Chain A
Amino acid sequence: MEPVRQVSGRMAPLDRADVDTDQIIPKQFLKRIERTGYGPFLFYDWRAEGDFVLDRPEYQGASVLLAGANFGCGSSREHAPWALRDAGFKAIIAPSFADIFRGNCFKTGLLPVTLPDGQVRHLIDLVSEEPTAAITVDLEAQEVRGDGFAYRFEIDQFARDCLLNGLDEIALVERHASDIDGYESRRVAWLPVVR
């Protein structure tokens, strides 16, 4: 995986809470067998309604998505972060994320940043008034900053290391092959096998 150190660019505001993965990428697009090609279908139903905020000209090319609480709830589909990545987003800032979605983001190299309500509100107000406002999400410094503000964020340290160094998680786990062998040799005999 490509290392992720910092994301700099413009923001796009999606001022809604409880945005679920069914909205991010509706089910009719889950029949692909690839990891790419989902970008055009991001928020498909909301865009079809017309005047969807992410389609406004001023937010084209944004790389940081601002959203409400509990972003990414619902289905575990990793297609959701894939679609966000495909559409050019590299970081998402929200007051909270659903668990599985946050994990999927890390695996996809999409940076999920949790900031308190008030700070997210400030960013949403900022970009609503000033769509070209620049922002930097600095994973190394654990800081979101722009003109006149700098907000520190907390993030899981292990996930941070993996992103900063572009570590392949499978290779990381494989380094512990002897621990896995050892565990397997201790498993009791009556545990179920599928055959």
Chain B
Amino acid sequence: MAKTLARKLWDTHIVRSAEGEPDLLYVDLHLIHEVTSPQAFEGLRLSGRRVRRPDLTVATMDHNVPTRGGVRAADELSRKQMEVLAENCKQEGIPLYQIGSSRQGIVHVIGPELGLTQPGLLIVCGDSHTSTHGAFGALAFGIGTSEVELVLATQCLPQKLGGNFAVTVDGELPIGVTAKDVVLGVIARTGTSGGQGHLVEYRGSTIRGLSMEGRMTICNMSIEWGAKAGMVAPDDTTFAYLEGRPHAPKGAAWEAALDDWRSLPTDDGAIFDHEMTIDARRLEPHVTWGTNPGQVVPVTGRVPSPRSETDERALRYMDLKPGVAVSDIAIDRVFIGSCTNARLEDLRAAALVIEGHKVHPKVRAMVVPGSTSVKRAAENEGLDLIFKAAGFEWRNAGCSMCLGMNPDILAPGERCASTSNRNFEGRQGSGGRTHLMSPPMAAAAAITGHLVDVREML
């Protein structure tokens, strides 16, 4: 029978399948970080259990790390949380990329960089944006802390198979329109729960033409339209990205892996439960106006009239009036960062817009690379100099103002052009207002001091 990529991934990870029970799946790679793991380790200790496969578990510090140089922790509680992670990893023999390490970074950025994220794997992490890793043709999804404990103890996870959803994007992306706009365009069509629980495969010529970075951006935000996982079939772009990475297979193992990975793409004639098609040529840069990622319009558009109480509340929170042109919205801050858009390609795209310009005098702008490796690579290309010359702050790697667990936050009422993935109330700081967009769009906003169509500046 013709199978989808998602179904193949599912079937190869079944440890046990029984009528009336969820399938028991085997986890190939378990990523952990300081915020959602302490209670899981505590649970293990209380029940006298150990970590079954420390060799398939890897830890990083990202959510609450300080991004200013020279500080070891953002505050006392953060320091404690990081210490607890370090201690847990030491006791259980789990490798840890801690703050100060040359490979530290956001968990969803370092997995691929290290070559740990590979096609065909089942990857979980106590973080909803684990869907990012699906860009490699892996089945990857976020779990809660109790499930983290379960995976630590058993390396398995009981799961019910979700429906299949194909999103086909065809055509060439216009200049100034990015992977971020593809996924914001999907969310604009589906709302925040249109993908509820589904395993989504992104297909079509546009997706094939994207770099791994672009594919990761799209898979990353699958959760923002309610999907359980997002994925892209592995191809030569995937293999080229992986070859030579520290944990990628080598020699004969590489050849064996390639054979296996080439068998993963969805078979011709496989059936999806839902399908959606998007014409990339008609996409525009998108910007969110509200307090969930589904409240999104093209940058050429206007703030819409409210259609629900939720919309009305969002307008009040964002201090916006219906009918206002998006490009008339002035901003105070710019954040280029997060697991959605803080990879080298994202920084390059932003730098291209910034080069030769200055950040608007009323705007405070920062770049937070997704990982220490990204930071290093960007510095080797001189991107840091471009950003700094324009007036951007150039920070150390971490989640930073994506969720504001460290001092990188918006003040109440401040409005931010952000490359992150969530515009929830208070997400970037209590009372802060977030507009989500692509890195080039955020860069353009930094220069003009208001939301602006980057295509006018290219």
Contact = CB atoms under 8 A, between A and B. Distances in A.
Interface stretch (B137-145, B322-330, B351-359, B447-455): B137-145
Given A189-B253, A191-B28, A194-B55, A22 B35 contact: no
Interface string B107-149: 0000000011010010000111000000000000011111101
Interface residues of B, number: 82
Interface in A3-17: 15-17
B15 A45 contact: no
A107 B310 contact: no
Interface in A175-195: 176, 179-180, 182-184, 187-195
A15 B309 contact: yes
B15 A176 contact: yes
Contacts of A188: 256, 260
B426 interface: yes
Interface in A149-195: 156-158, 169-170, 172-174, 176, 179-180, 182-184, 187-195
Contact of B150 (A18, A28, A170): A170
Contacts of B22: 158
B378 to A, nearest CB: 26
Main secondary structure of the interface of A (DSSP, over half): loop
A100 B128 contact: yes
B56 interface: yes
A84 to B, nearest CB: 13
A31 interface: yes
A34 B116 CA distance: 30
Contacts of B94: 194
Contacts, number: 194
Contact of A74 (B21, B154, B422, B431): B422
Interface size bucket, A side? 35 or more
Given A31-B78, A33-B80, A108 B95 contact: no
Interface string A66-84: 0011100111111100000
B350 to A, nearest CB: 25
Q: A-B pairs with the 8 shortest C-beta distances?
A: A107-B146, A190-B253, A104-B144, A31-B77, A33-B38, A78-B144, A78-B145, A70-B193
28 contacts: A17-B310, A18-B292, A22-B426, A23-B426, A26-B426, A30-B63, A33-B39, A33-B42, A33-B80, A34-B39, A45-B426, A73-B192, A73-B193, A73-B226, A74-B422, A76-B142, A76-B144, A98-B193, A100-B142, A158-B20, A158-B21, A170-B150, A170-B154, A180-B155, A188-B260, A190-B249, A190-B253, A191-B28
Interface of B: 15-16, 20-22, 24, 26, 28-29, 35-36, 38-39, 42, 47, 49, 54-58, 63-64, 75, 77-78, 80-81, 84, 94-95, 115-116, 118, 121, 126-128, 142-147, 149-150, 153-156, 158, 160, 192-193, 196-197, 226, 228, 247-249, 253-254, 256-257, 260, 292, 294, 308-310, 313, 403-405, 422, 424-427, 430-431
